Amino acid sequence: MFFELYDQMLPPKEGEYRVVKHKYDAFFETDLDSILRNNRIKTIIIVGTATNVCCESTARSGFFRDYQVAFPSDCNASFDDGMHQASLKTIDMFFGRVMTTEELLDEMRNELGRNDRVAAE
């Protein structure tokens, strides 16, 4: 094994998954795509570091696999603000929707409310 897992990482609970990345892209040679498809997930939310490396690579790969990509700008970070901003612009133009966490949460609340209304009808 060429890596070690964080020794204080809790094991997944029942019904949860652990995906161990081997490269920058979380889809590359992992079970992530099959896990998402088997659970009928259509939208992915990308958060983490570094915006311009791992996060952008995963966003692009998700887009190429036909997922809707949400990219909260304030939940991603890079080592250089110029690179962070350039990645946000690229993702927003070509690969997903860049928004703030608050905007994302508002959309999620609205969607949940819409689904509740449809179920009640």
Q: Which residue has the tokens 């949940």?
A: 112
Domains along the chain with CATH numbers: 32-120 (3.40.50.850)
What does each C-alpha distance from 64 to 32, 33, 69, 101, 108 come to in angstroms? 14, 11, 10, 24, 23
In this predicted structure, what is the pLDDT of residue 78?
95
Give the separation between CA 42 and CA 37, rounded to whole angstroms: 8
What pLDDT is stored for residue 117 in this prediction? 65
Series of mean pLDDT values for 10-residue runs along the chain (121 residues): 66 90 95 97 95 97 98 96 97 98 95 72 63
What's the token pair of residue 46?
A: 């990308």
Picking from 39, 30, 72, 40, the residue whose alpha carbon sits closest to that of residue 55 is 72
Which H/E stretch holds residue 2? Answer: none
